[in-house]
Structure 1
Amino acid sequence: MKTNRLGKILQFVFFIFLLHTSAAAQDFQLAEEYFVQGKYEKAKDIYEKLARHSYNWRSIHQNYLLTLINLKDYKTAEDFLRKQIKQEPENMFYKVDFAVILEMQGKMKEAEKEYLALIETGRKDRERATIAYEALEKYDKYEWAEKLFLEARKYDNSSDKYALQLTEVYAKLGKKKELLQEAIKLYNKSEDYSEYVKGTLQDEFRTEEELNFVEETLLTKVQDEPNHRAANELLLWLYMQQKNFLKAFVQAKAIDKRFKKQGSQLFEIGRIAFENKDYPATEKILSYFVEQYPNDALYFIPARRYLIKAREEVIKNTFPIDKEKVKAVIQDYQELINSQGKAKTVEALKDMAHLYAFFLDEKEKAIELLQDAINEARYNNKLVAQCKITLGDIYVLKGEFGEAALLYYQAEREQKDSPIGHEAKLKNAKLSYYKGEFETAQNHLDILKNATSREISNDAIDMSVFIQDNTGMDSTETAMREFARIDLQIFQNKLDEALKELEAMLKKFPNHSLTDDIYWAKANIFIRMGKPQNAIEMYELILKNYAFDILADDAHFALAKTYEELLQNKEKAKDLYQEHLTKFPGSRYVAEARKRFRILRGDKLK
């Protein structure tokens, strides 16, 4: 009988509990709806009801507090937080909320007392310090976060503890000097933070003045502490970001000696300088490398090749071409091949073949070298494909298009969906264009527009637009076929012949859409012939008559470069670069024009 009565009582209690829980859940939901809708008075009424029971406090804390803040009912908020802190005296978030509410009421001394108490608690324990920081961060209280971590560092008698948090805090406060010091400490603690530190420095130090400050700070650190790893590495990184390869070279040499890097970093800087077309820097860096590390099994051969390649690029871009200098570069390649063997120097064979074919007109010698290279590299599909592309180019030079197309196709198939494969496909598109097979060329180009290599993708898009623009209005495509044939002559180094035919085209097809392209082609021929004044005339014709067409910015930038590099008229070039920035703000050359303008103006570039 008693058992039965007890069971009924328990059932009744459970029923009341469910009823209460259900009602509370409904209140929570309704209060939240009012809060989201901005109906704070109605939300407050329900939250006050829920706040009568302490077990609800955590659940309603955030929205109830924000409701009271929106209503400027700071007294109720203060009373509510006092109760919560009494119940959970260790809760850092409640303490920060309480200090903020006091500030909102103008009770600054009381608020300061709370912040100082928070710091006193947080500074003695890393976990508490981290939680306190999260609580302060919620209200952007970074000044107090700074005090917290500096006190915690003092308590632990450490000079670099909490460097990560202080780096973040100083970034928020805009304290660049302190940020840099903490970032250096953080980098020095562990290489795991290297990318974070570099990213932070890139984000926070942007102006020339700020970058000067970073460089000066790091230089001072290195001078005071020559073996400070972080300062040394960050200084090198800074120079590489600025593409100041000669300064990077000086710093890398110091690192190489201090930290026994065995030259690997020096080689990499030389390679990057080459990729950025800074050939004088490449030559200086890699000359030092091959002299210091003649027995380096991994980098010596590629360093020698990049060194020769840098000299080659300078010669190839100095017009008219000096054949004696070309022969000297070929001799450099031959010495490398003789000393290291053909198997290790296939790329040198390939580059040497290119020089023989395109600059000394020794095509058969070039073909022989490339066949030799393909045989030596037979187990390296990537290198074989590169050699086949160069061999294909030489067959185009000879006018043997079938052989060229086959070689390009083989290279594409062997390196499918790779930059080398895409390059081979682009070559085949160009070959179809030379032959006047524009539809076939477009089919290749349509595929290449989405190539992973941005350079190949852009080339494909440019070529596709060029063909489309100059064939759409002319159903016979006569002019375009003639221009493509002349383009082939230019590729084959038949410059005098090409120049005559371009001149004939201007008379045969007056006011054709190709006219600006004809001027552009003539300008390029004149540059290669060492006739810069004639090239300038062509650039000026484009700018005068086709100022709003696609070649205008190319012509303007080329004009400035011609004055700077070939005529040594720095003042005229400076004015043109400055003009380029305003006339062609969307040009692909804007960054380079700005850099060249600043150099000519005498700015100290970082």
Structure 2
Amino acid sequence: MRIFVSILLLFSSLVVAQEFSVTPLPGGNPQAHTQQRPPANEQLAQNYFDRGEFDKAILIYEELVKSSPNNYQFFQKEIICYQQLKQFEKAEEIIQSRISRLKYPNLFVELGYNYQLQKMQDKADKNYKIALNKINENPDNVYAVARDFEQKTLISQAVQAYQLGQQLNPNVNFDYQIAMLQGQLGNIDLMINSLVDYAYKFPTNIVLVQNSLQRFLTEDHTKVFSDALRKALLLRTQKTQDIFWNEFMSWYFVTQKEYGKAFIQEKAIYKRSPDNFDKILSLARLASGEKEKLVEREILEFVLANTQHPDVIIDVNCAVLEMDIEKATTVEYPVISQKIAALLQQYGWSSTTIKLQILKAHFDAFYLKQFDSAKNTLTKALDLPLNIYQKAEVKLELADILLLDEKFNQAIIYYAQVESDLENDQVAHQASLKMAKASYFKGDFEWAQKQFKVHKSSTSQLIANDAMEYFLLISDNTVEDSTQVALKKFAKADFLAYQNKNTEALQAFKAILEQHKGEAIEDETLLKIGELYEKQNQFTEALSYYQQIIDKHSEDIYIDEALFYSAEINRKHILDNEKAKSLYEKILFNHQDSIYFVESQNNYRKLRGDANL
């Protein structure tokens, strides 16, 4: 519970508005006015203040108050400095002077707090009561009074202020602020119930509420908050038939990565409001991203059973076919070919079926090794009236197939065309990275390295990570061996893996281990062999090669990959959760900068029994 209170204290400091500027949005959401950039002397004072050098800060704040007597922030900082320096009488003198001059209601909060710091609670409570009475005199005073109570972590008084202001002026709503404050008081159930009811009352503010709840879910390692929220939402879902609660429940299950349960809610929503499949398809993509293939397939099959829209049917069929292809054996290839052909016959060869045509070409080339058929399909597709992005997709696939067929120069030409056609677009960056990889496979390491160097600073994390991996591969294996003998062998083996020639690739990589034992290329080779075995579902073999990296190359750059891949195999396939936990722990404690850190943290919490990721 102390964790929740700490989080709430931090969050409340973010939503407290500046100098009388707290104004309720529809439904009572506070926002602060834009602040101007502070002058240099204010910045210096703030620096002293932040470092706790209050004796230096006070000298500047005294001057700032003189030059800007109506600036309430300068006045507050001046008071805080005196209080930190234990000069309470001086602070009281300044506050009393301002009270007599300006009559601001929140000044009584300042005065009361000054007494409270001196353990004079009776005098403090007397002034807090005066401040609350000022709201009775003018309900608009609630903004300044409640704000100062919040700033000083006087939570009970802040709640009283908001409740009184709401009671006196029914046109304003402070349910959100009161709910957050109840949480700070440790009343978590009350906070949750108040927040979800507030969202129901003011649905335009549901994102604000969900963002607030998400902060607590993220830090909820004990499941207390998650269980309370689940209970609150389930009760409301069962009590009424309002779709709002199904949508809220779906959101909750998505935050927990329980996509199957989220899908149950989305089905209930669709049955009562069959508008479109956008949210359901979005859920399928989330499940796919988390490799929840069974849930993804269930969602896609539901869509196929309930839609008549050709575009949706084609897109979903493509997704289902991709899943089929991924796990298919050669015996099943003819069935897949027939499904693709039947769909194209039904919906035609047009711009609306371009994804299906690309899928056919990919399957023909990468799985059936029918290169001419694949190239013809894509060449014909380029004659269709396609938009610029559709053309780019076709050209990228055509380039991939030409590369697969070892037509390196032709592949590079098509990659370059996409890069030129969509200059500065993310697709262009993807094409450029593929072009660099083609040069790497070809053995032109110098040019490829220059391109990888550019792309390792990409705004796309996937492109940047991929480019960094190849950049380091070439760098590490050029410094030690200027002739790049091992690197050339590695690139050829890597190209065999790209061509789906897994058996030949494994043989080539194992030959590198024998011929270049102890060289810089060793850890990359071990990782590649492990990945190939894992791709073929030979998990014991994969683990043995990852373990060699863990044992012999713990200081090299692929250690976090080896740990993560091993943990994932143990969690998903070997079902040794304790082993998986120990591997995730090593990433969390020793590799905080790893790209797998967040996912390792989430999976570790899941294995530990936490529900909130």
TM-score of the aligned structures, taking structure 2 as reference length: 0.78
| Aligned-pair CA distance for 1:439 | 0.2
Give yes or no for contact 2:416–2:435 (8 Å, CA) kept in 1.
Answer: yes
The 2-side partners of 1:42 and 1:63 are apart by 11
What's the CA shift string for 1:286-339, capped at 9, x where partnerless?
A: 2212222x23466444333333333434x1xxxxx5023344344443343333
| Aligned-pair CA distance for 1:214 | 1.5
Give yes or no for contact 2:477–2:487 (8 Å, CA) kept in 1.
Answer: yes
The 2-side partners of 1:462 and 1:59 are apart by 50
The answer to whether residue 283 in structure 2 is matched with residue 275 in structure 1 is no
| Aligned-pair CA distance for 1:422 | 1.5
The 2-side partners of 1:272 and 1:41 are apart by 53
The answer to whether residue 288 in structure 2 is matched with residue 288 in structure 1 is no
The answer to whether residue 194 in structure 2 is matched with residue 187 in structure 1 is no
Name which of 249, 256, 273 aligns with 1:242: 256
The 2-side partners of 1:57 and 1:467 are apart by 59
| Aligned-pair CA distance for 1:105 | 5.8
The 2-side partners of 1:485 and 1:186 are apart by 61
Name which of 263, 266, 271 aligns with 1:252: 266
| Aligned-pair CA distance for 1:468 | 0.8
| CA distance 1:191–1:450, shift in 2 (3 Å) | farther
Give yes or no for contact 1:526–1:535 (8 Å, CA) kept in 2.
Answer: yes
The answer to whether residue 390 in structure 2 is matched with residue 383 in structure 1 is yes
Q: Name the amino acid aligned to 1:518.
A: T
| Aligned-pair CA distance for 1:75 | 7.0
Secondary structure at the counterpart of residue 193 of structure 2: helix
| Aligned-pair CA distance for 1:71 | 7.7
Q: Name the amino acid aligned to 1:578.
A: S
The 1-side partners of 2:603 and 2:72 are apart by 62
Secondary structure at the counterpart of residue 270 of structure 1: helix
Instruction: Specify the alignment match of 1:569 in structure 2.
Output: 574
Give yes or no for contact 1:129–1:149 (8 Å, CA) kept in 2.
Answer: yes
Name which of 229, 239, 242 aligns with 1:214: 229
Give yes or no for contact 1:574–1:597 (8 Å, CA) kept in 2.
Answer: no
Instruction: Specify the alignment match of 1:404 in structure 2.
Output: 411
Q: Name the amino acid aligned to 2:501.
A: K
The answer to whether residue 159 in structure 2 is matched with residue 146 in structure 1 is yes
Secondary structure at the counterpart of residue 579 of structure 2: helix
Instruction: Specify the alignment match of 2:357 in structure 1.
Output: 349
Secondary structure at the counterpart of residue 375 of structure 1: coil
The 2-side partners of 1:132 and 1:272 are apart by 45
| Aligned-pair CA distance for 1:270 | 1.7
Instruction: Specify the alignment match of 2:585 in structure 1.
Output: 581
Give yes or no for contact 1:279–1:311 (8 Å, CA) kept in 2.
Answer: no
| Aligned-pair CA distance for 1:69 | 5.2
Q: Name the amino acid aligned to 2:413.
A: L
| CA distance 1:432–1:81, shift in 2 (3 Å) | closer
| CA distance 1:596–1:144, shift in 2 (3 Å) | closer
| CA distance 1:111–1:297, shift in 2 (3 Å) | farther
Residues 118-137 of structure 1 aligned to structure 2 (within 5 Å): 118-122=131-135, 126-137=139-150
Give yes or no for contact 2:526–2:545 (8 Å, CA) kept in 1.
Answer: yes
The answer to whether residue 113 in structure 2 is matched with residue 100 in structure 1 is yes
* Percentage of pairs with the same residue: 23
What's the CA shift string for 1:401-451, capped at 9, x where partnerless?
A: 222111111122122222221221111111111121110111211221222
The 2-side partners of 1:458 and 1:81 are apart by 57
Name which of 195, 198, 204 aligns with 2:216: 204
Secondary structure at the counterpart of residue 106 of structure 2: helix
Name which of 462, 466, 486 aligns with 2:493: 486
What's the CA shift string for 1:529-549, capped at 9, x where partnerless?
A: 554444444334333433332
User: Which structure would you say has the larger Rg?
Assistant: 1
Give yes or no for contact 1:283–1:307 (8 Å, CA) kept in 2.
Answer: yes
Give yes or no for contact 2:439–2:448 (8 Å, CA) kept in 1.
Answer: yes
Q: Name the amino acid aligned to 1:251.
A: Q
Instruction: Specify the alignment match of 1:333 in structure 2.
Output: 340
| CA distance 1:460–1:63, shift in 2 (3 Å) | closer
What's the CA shift string for 1:377-400, capped at 9, x where partnerless?
A: x43111211221111121122222
Name which of 433, 439, 448 aligns with 1:432: 439
The 2-side partners of 1:60 and 1:389 are apart by 60
What's the CA shift string for 1:252-282, capped at 9, x where partnerless?
A: 2233344554433222212332233322211
When structure 1 is superposed on structure 2, of 385-394 and 200-209 the one drifting more is 200-209
Q: Name the amino acid aligned to 2:202.
A: S
| CA distance 1:176–1:260, shift in 2 (3 Å) | farther
Instruction: Specify the alignment match of 2:39 in structure 1.
Output: none
The 2-side partners of 1:225 and 1:135 are apart by 40
Q: Name the amino acid aligned to 1:179.
A: M
When structure 1 is superposed on structure 2, of 406-415 and 554-563 the one drifting more is 554-563
The 1-side partners of 2:465 and 2:84 are apart by 54
Secondary structure at the counterpart of residue 257 of structure 2: coil
Secondary structure at the counterpart of residue 215 of structure 2: helix
Instruction: Specify the alignment match of 1:14 in structure 2.
Output: none
| Aligned-pair CA distance for 1:248 | 1.3
The 1-side partners of 2:559 and 2:300 are apart by 38
What's the CA shift string for 1:438-495, capped at 9, x where partnerless?
A: 1011121122122221101110011010011112222222222122122222222334
The 1-side partners of 2:345 and 2:556 are apart by 51
| CA distance 1:466–1:112, shift in 2 (3 Å) | same
| Aligned-pair CA distance for 1:372 | 2.8
| Aligned-pair CA distance for 1:360 | 1.6
| CA distance 1:243–1:485, shift in 2 (3 Å) | same
| CA distance 1:605–1:339, shift in 2 (3 Å) | farther
Give yes or no for contact 2:159–2:178 (8 Å, CA) kept in 1.
Answer: yes
The 2-side partners of 1:371 and 1:84 are apart by 81
| CA distance 1:80–1:553, shift in 2 (3 Å) | closer
Residues 404-553 of structure 1 aligned to structure 2 (within 5 Å): 404-528=411-535, 531-553=538-560
Q: Name the amino acid aligned to 2:189.
A: K
Q: Name the amino acid aligned to 2:294.
A: P
Q: Name the amino acid aligned to 1:200.
A: S
What's the CA shift string for 1:503-559, capped at 9, x where partnerless?
A: 444444343322333333333444455544444443343334333323333334434
The 1-side partners of 2:80 and 2:273 are apart by 56
When structure 1 is superposed on structure 2, of 59-68 and 538-547 the one drifting more is 59-68
| CA distance 1:340–1:126, shift in 2 (3 Å) | farther
The answer to whether residue 364 in structure 2 is matched with residue 359 in structure 1 is no
Name which of 205, 220, 224 aligns with 2:239: 224
The 1-side partners of 2:429 and 2:108 are apart by 62
The 2-side partners of 1:61 and 1:403 are apart by 71
What's the CA shift string for 1:546-576, capped at 9, x where partnerless?
A: 33323333334434444555xx5323x6414
Give yes or no for contact 2:256–2:611 (8 Å, CA) kept in 1.
Answer: no
Give yes or no for contact 2:142–2:162 (8 Å, CA) kept in 1.
Answer: yes
The 1-side partners of 2:387 and 2:70 are apart by 70
Instruction: Specify the alignment match of 2:381 in structure 1.
Output: 373
Give yes or no for contact 1:274–1:306 (8 Å, CA) kept in 2.
Answer: no
The 2-side partners of 1:130 and 1:362 are apart by 72
Give yes or no for contact 1:577–1:593 (8 Å, CA) kept in 2.
Answer: no
Give yes or no for contact 1:395–1:401 (8 Å, CA) kept in 2.
Answer: yes
Give yes or no for contact 1:123–1:149 (8 Å, CA) kept in 2.
Answer: no
The 2-side partners of 1:251 and 1:473 are apart by 58
Q: Name the amino acid aligned to 1:266.
A: I
The 1-side partners of 2:131 and 2:429 are apart by 62
TM-score of the aligned structures, taking structure 1 as reference length: 0.79
